Amino acid sequence: MAPDTQTPAASIDKLEQALLPKIETGDVELPLLPHVASKVMALASDADADAAKLSNLIHQDQALAAHVLRIANSPAYMPRSSVVSLQHAVAMLGINLLSEIAFTASLKNGAFQVPGHEDQVKLMWRHSLASGSYGKEVARMRRVNVETAYLCGLLHGIGKPVILRTVATLAKTLTLSLEPEILQPLINGYHTRVGILIADKWGLPKQVAEAISYYQDYDHATAFRQECLLTCVADRLSTHILSPEELPEDELREHPVFADLNLYPNDIDQLLAGKGKILTVVNAMNL
Amino acid sequence: MSTPTAYDLVIIGAGPAGQKAAIQGAKAGKRVALIERERGIGGSCVYRGTIPSKTLRESALHISRLRRASEAFEFHIKPDAEISALLSRLEEVVHAHDIFMSKQLRRNGISLFHGRARFLNDRTVEMQAVDGARQQFTAEYFVIATGSRPRNPPEFPVDHEHILDSDSLLSTSSYEAVFPLA
């Protein structure tokens, strides 16, 4: 059946009416936390974790192992010599960094897949990667935990691919065409609510769950306000470097979150000057 | 640029030393300005040092007692819940200190400014606010109470990721790291 030709506002309205009850009743297909990602998270809090355990874990998934090796050899990590095995990668990059790479690659394969919408998912993924990487840089500047900042940035938009998949299915059922101007308001409006459901299902650390919930509305955060502020800054910086036409530099600098996180104008200059490093990581992880 | 604002005493840094100097100055009848570059007052003592480490220690001891009780009474404490609880409690304590100290400064009529200060000459300081606006202060006396920061030796580059200092350690997500600190 040919899609209905309706105004974008009417289509958004119809889709919203179908989407909202699904979210409210939890009738949304949430992704599972990828097996390796979950094991890597557990390994991070395991005092007995070692290089052999990590490389054995990654070896369980051959496709993932290949991705990890490719990333470890990319310009983002500048190995002095070619990394030929996972154990070699652990020795070169360290357990922490390799765990981060494995978690990230595993997340992409498990949670950022929407057949038929590959281009949009790619944009979401690049935004998540840039936010994670910027989260680390902002955390370094504020002298707070870098690892948590990365997770908050990487996962703050984890609800977006789920909303995309759900809305795409609904559009097919309701025979509505799905243009970007219809899709974007729905993703922007509802991804946080789905993100909260995912954080709960995956048992993510409270700091990350709070950042997903409140990064756009940090004044209402009930705890971990700093992580929420930091994620908001990372989100805006990554939007700016990936789509400067969407968020020009002047507009970026005017956002009160920078002052709220006590970032002075020269701190923002320094963060913007580091965009080359962020883009290198994004391109390396762009699976 | 606006005309400089004149004070009798300008203090740079609102840590314990800066606060006490400001209060003593105000009690002596001087017009006092206190400039702090961070959003909250209290300096490293409140945000990075004494208060956080003691709060974490007390909370860690409390959780440790709960853990022992959990074995006897057969209930379970999630490892992640523990570290979150520690850090959440820390935020509450620091916030309470900030409110207490702000009230004390207001009560003594001290003007508190948020920004980074630098000397233009021996009688003038320029402050840059976090939004970039600049303001000048003149005074007869200045107190530099900017405290200290962890040293960053070039042979061990502190990236707050693989090598932490005492500041970044306080926001760690690893439970094991809290105990040596406490």
The alpha carbon of residue B129 is apart from the nearest alpha carbon of chain A, in Å, by 8
**Residues in A lying within 8 Å of B, measured between beta carbons:** 44-45, 47, 94, 96-97, 136, 139-140, 143-148, 203, 205-207, 223-226, 258-260, 262-265
Q: If you measure CA to CA, which chain A residue comes closest to B128? A: A264
State the complex-level ipTM: 0.74
CA of B28 vs chain A CAs: smallest distance (Å): 32
Note whether A226 contacts B167, CB cutoff 8 Å: no
Whether residue B91 and residue A225 make contact (CB cut-off 8 A), yes or no, is yes
Q: Which pLDDT belongs to residue A3?
A: 57
Nearest CA in chain B to A204: B80
Instruction: Provide mean pLDDT across the span B38-55.
Output: 79
DSSP string for residues in chain A: -PPB---HHHHHHHHHHHHHHHHHHT-S-PPPPPHHHHHHHHHHT-TT--HHHHHHHHHTSHHHHHHHHHHHTSTTT--SS---SHHHHHHHH-HHHHHHHHHHHHHHHHHS--TT-HHHHHHHHHHHHHHHHHHHHHHHHHTS-HHHHHHHHHHTTTTHHHHHHHHHHHHHHTTB---HHHHHHHHHHHHHHHHHHHHHHHT--HHHHHHHHHTTSGGG-SS-HHHHHHHHHHHHHHHHHH-TTTS-HHHHHH-THHHHTT--HHHHHHHHHTHHHHHHHHHHH--
Cross-chain residue pair A205–B80, CB shorter than 8 Å: yes
Q: What is the pLDDT at residue B173?
A: 55
Instruction: Decide if A143 and B37 are in contact by the 8 Å CB cutoff.
Output: no
Cross-chain residue pair B39–A146, CB shorter than 8 Å = no
What is the per-residue pLDDT for B175?
45
- CB contact (8 A) between residue A226 and residue B173: no
**pLDDT tens track of chain A, all 287 residues?**
555 567 888 888 999 999 999 999 888 889 888 888 888 878 766 777 777 888 888 888 888 888 888 888 888 886 667 888 888 888 888 888 888 888 898 888 888 989 889 999 999 999 999 999 999 999 999 988 888 899 999 999 999 999 999 999 999 999 888 888 889 999 999 999 999 999 999 988 888 999 999 999 999 998 889 999 999 999 999 999 999 999 999 999 999 999 999 999 999 999 999 999 999 999 988 76
- Considering only alpha carbons, which residue of chain A is nearest residue B170? A144
* Nearest-CB residue to B161 (from A136, A258, A263): A136
pLDDT at position B137 is: 97
Confidence of residue B178 (pLDDT cuts 50, 70, 90): very low
pLDDT tens figures, B114-164? 999 999 999 999 999 999 999 999 999 999 999 888 888 888 888 887 788
- Looking at beta carbons, which residues of chain A come within 8 Å of B116? 264
Give residue B81's pLDDT band: very low, low, confident or very high (50, 70, 90): low
pLDDT exceeds 90 at position B20: yes
User: A96 to chain B: which residues are within 8 Å by CB?
Assistant: 161-162
Q: Which residues of B touch A263 (CB under 8 A)?
A: 130
More confident: B56 or A280: A280
Nearest to B159 among A140, A260, A264 (CB): A140
Interface contact A143-B165, CB threshold 8 A? yes
Check residue A94 and give its pLDDT. Answer: 82
With cut-offs at 50, 70 and 90, classify the pLDDT of residue B61.
confident
Q: What is the pLDDT of residue A287?
A: 63
**Block residue for tokens 């290949």:** A66
Strand partners, B111: B33
Chain B: closest CA distance from residue A75 (Å): 19
What pLDDT, on the 0 to 100 scale, is given for residue B181? 41
What is the pLDDT at residue A109? 82
pLDDT surpassing 90 at residue B68:
no
- Candidates A47, A143, A226; nearest CB to B168: A143
pLDDT given for residue A130 in this prediction: 97
